[in-house]
Amino acid sequence: MKESSLWWPVRWYGRYALSYADLKEMAAERGLKIERSTICRWVHEYRAMLAKLIKPLLKSTNGSLRLDETYVKIKGVWHYLYRAIDKSGKTLDWMLSRKSNKKAANISINNAWICNSKTMVNRKV
């Protein structure tokens, strides 16, 4: 197996809303036989290394940040979704909570702003 075959499932898992089963199917279409558990191990082992490689290539945002609060229903239960959004509408960070917790969300958002000012790697939304 080529070394580049290892990186794309890890990168795509972090960037797009794909499951391990989706990635396994995509690998099979490319002629690679990879199990879901193998992809899971790769993600846990190499995502930090990949983030370090990608971080210098990411653009920083404009410095304007706001907190967006909304409600989402997950498996029949309502949750609070807090998002840190920059001026252009890009989601920088998010927090999901079963109870309203604006104080914790603001702390999370402030951390996102600090990280973003140093060009942060976005989490999957």
3-state DSSP assignment of residue 59: coil
Question: pLDDT category, 58, cuts 50, 70, 90?
Answer: low
pLDDT at 61 over 60: no
What span, in angstroms and rounded, lies between the C-alpha atoms of 14 and 53? 14
CB within 8 Å of 119: residues ≥ 6 apart: 55, 56, 58, 59, 60
Q: What angle do CA 66, 67, 71 make, to 5 degrees?
A: 145
Check residues 66 and 118 and name the one with the higher pLDDT: 66
Task: Please count the other Cβ atoms lying within 10 Å of the Cβ belonging to residue 80.
Answer: 17
Please give the model's pTM, rounded to 2 decimal places: 0.44
**Domain boundaries in the chain?**
4-57, 65-116
Tokens 């959004």 -> residue: 85
